[in-house]
Amino acid sequence: MKKIFLTSYLLLACFAFCAGQTVDANDADDREIRENPVIEENGEEEASSFAMPSYIKLNRNHVIMNGANWKQLHKAMANVNKHPVSIVHIGDSHLQADIATGVVRKNIQMEHGNAGRGLITPLKMSGTNQPLDYTFASTMSWNAAKLMKWPWNNTMGFTGTSISPTQRQSHLTLSTGKDEDYNPFSAVTLFHKGKLNVTRVENQDGIPLMFTASPSQDYTHIQLTEAVDNVKIFFDSAGDLTLFGASLSGNRPGIFYHTIGNNGATYGTYNRIGNVGKGIAPLNPDLVIISLGTNEAFGRRNVPEFISAMDRLVKSIQSANPNTQIMLVTPMECQKSVYSTVNKRVKRKKRKSRTVKQKVRSYAVNANILPIRNAIMQYGRDNNIAVYDWYEVAGGAGASSLWLKDKMFGSDRVHHTHKGYNIQGELLYKALSEALNNN
Radius of gyration of the chain (CA): 23
Instruction: List, as one string, the DSSP characters of 88-111.
Output: EEEESHHHHT-SHHHHHHHHHHHH
Which residue did the predictor score with more confidence, 320 or 44?
320
Q: How confident is the model at residue 195 (pLDDT cuts 50, 70, 90)?
A: very high
User: For residue 75, is it within any domain?
Assistant: no
Query: What mean pLDDT comes out for the span 68-78?
Result: 98
pLDDT digits (tens, 9 = 90+) for 267-277: 999 999 999 99
Q: State pTM to two decimals.
A: 0.88
The domain of 130 spans 119-251
Domain contains 203: yes
Residue 357 lies in a domain: no
User: Each residue of 255-292: pLDDT tens digit?
Assistant: 999 999 999 999 999 999 999 999 999 999 999 999 99
- Is residue 56 assigned to a domain? no
Task: Report the chain's mean pLDDT, rounded to a whole number.
Answer: 88
Position 51 confidence tier, pLDDT thresholds 50, 70, 90: confident
CATH number of residue 205's parent domain: 2.60.120.260
> pLDDT grade, residue 408 (50/70/90)?
very high
Residue 82 region, left (φ>0) first, then alpha (ψ -120 to 50), else beta? alpha
* CA gap 429, 433 in Å, rounded: 6
Distance between CA atoms of 103 and 80, rounded to whole angstroms? 20
Residue spans of beta strands (DSSP E) within 252-390: 255-261, 287-291, 325-329, 335-348, 351-365, 386-388
Q: Phi-psi bin for 254: left (phi > 0), alpha (psi -120 to 50), beta? A: left
Q: How far apart are CA 432 and CA 430, in angstroms?
A: 6
Q: Is residue 5 part of a domain?
A: no
Dihedral in degrees, nearest 10, Cα atoms 158, 91, 122, 246: -60
Name the pLDDT band for 32 (thresholds 50, 70, 90).
low
In a domain, 187, yes or no: yes
Is 149 part of a structural domain of the chain?
A: yes
184 in any annotated domain = yes
Q: How many domains does the chain have?
A: 1
